[in-house]
Every structure is written in C-alpha cells, then in structure tokens.
Amino acid sequence: MNSFSKIGVLFGLVLLVASCANTNSRNYQYMPNMYESVGYETYQKVDFLPDGMEAGLPAENTIARGWIPYGIENTMEGKELARLNPSPLDSLSQEANLAVGKELYTIYCAICHGDKGDGQGNLVKREKILGVPSYADVARNITVGTSYHAIYYGLNSMGSYAGQLDTEERWKVAEYVMKLKQDLTK
C-alpha cells in the first residue's frame, strides 16, 4: 500500500502543476530576448549601424535574386545586336512555352497589339493609342531577339515590361510574337 500512496501523491503533484499552467501565454522562456525582439522602423535612426539607418543600399555588384542582367544596351546598335540574339528556351518544350507565352501576351500585350498581332487591340479600336503596327508589316523586320529587346526596354510609346515579366516569361512572349507574325504572313 505504501507504493500505491506514493504513486497517488506523484499523480497529485503532476495534476497540480498541470492545472497551474496558462495556455494563453508562454509560461517559461529560455532566452526572452529571442522571443521579444526589439523592433526597428525601416528608416529609423539607429546608433549601431554604419550609416545610422536600418535600411541600407545593397552591396556593390550584387544582383537581385531571380534577375538575370541583359547585356545589350538600349541603343540602335544594341537593337541591331539583339536582332541576332536567339531564344535560350528549350526547343523541345516549344508547345508549352507558346501556351504560356499566349497567356502572358493576352494579359500584357493584346490590349494594344490585338489578339492576332494585327495592331487592332481594344485601346487602338477606342482610339486611345494610335500607331500600333501589325506584326505582318514588311517594314517591321522583327526577330525573337528584337521582340525581347522591345519587351525589355520598351519601344516608342510602349513602355518596358521588364518589371512585370521575368526573363523566362519575356522570352516566351517573344516566341509567341514570332508565332503571331508567322501566322499573319502566311
């Protein structure tokens, strides 16, 4: 009976300790500074950083994650150099690339250039934007490289889409533009 009373006392102590626990907050913090850190505002002055400010410039010669630099300049010589630039996408998955390119073209380009690439998008029909040429124009000797160049830097009244589309998406749209050109010139 003696061991039975010891088990009962031990069970009572465990029950007493468990009933005193507060489930709404932490009862014990091993390192409280890690749980309750000091918050800093983005442009707040702080004494321990080199410039005295929380937000700093990135280190020199760094590239943002997911961004690949485009080595061709936004000049006429750069545009001619881009004419020779082939698509780096895998040609074995061309159908999938064109499907994604069509979706992105419909979102970003078709409102001006039209669904068929004929320059008769919704904004052109409403006369909000004028002078959007068709991809079938003979004077527009476009290639996949010049299409990518125009998407990256913009051309005439068309702004740059480098901020909306990543590198792979821009190439997919450029390939789809070449498909539209091929369909229009049949």
Query: pLDDT tens digit string along 63-94?
Result: 877 677 788 888 889 889 989 889 888 888 99
If we measure between CA atoms, which residue out of 98, 53, 72, 97 comes closest to residue 150?
Answer: 72
Cα 7 to its chain centre, rounded Å, is: 62
pLDDT of residue 37: 72
Domain ranges of the chain: 91-185
Q: Is 110 in contact with 174 (CB distance < 8 Å)?
A: no
Is the pLDDT at 46 greater than 70? The verdict is yes
pLDDT of residue 27: 62
Binned at pLDDT 50, 70 and 90, residue 108 comes out as: very high
Fold observed for domain 91-185: Cytochrome Bc1 Complex; Chain D, domain 2 (1.10.760)
Q: Extract long-range pairs of 137-144: CB within 8 Å, 24+ residues apart.
A: 141/83, 142/177, 142/178, 142/181, 143/82, 143/83, 143/84, 143/85, 143/178, 144/85, 144/86, 144/87, 144/171, 144/174, 144/175, 144/177, 144/178
Upper half-sphere CA count for residue 162 (Cβ side, 13 Å): 13
pLDDT of residue 139: 76
Is the pLDDT at 26 greater than 70? The verdict is no
Q: How far is CA 184 from CA 10, 14, 83, 130, in A?
A: 86, 81, 20, 20
pTM of the model: 0.66
Question: Could you give the percent of the chain with pLDDT greater than 70?
Answer: 94
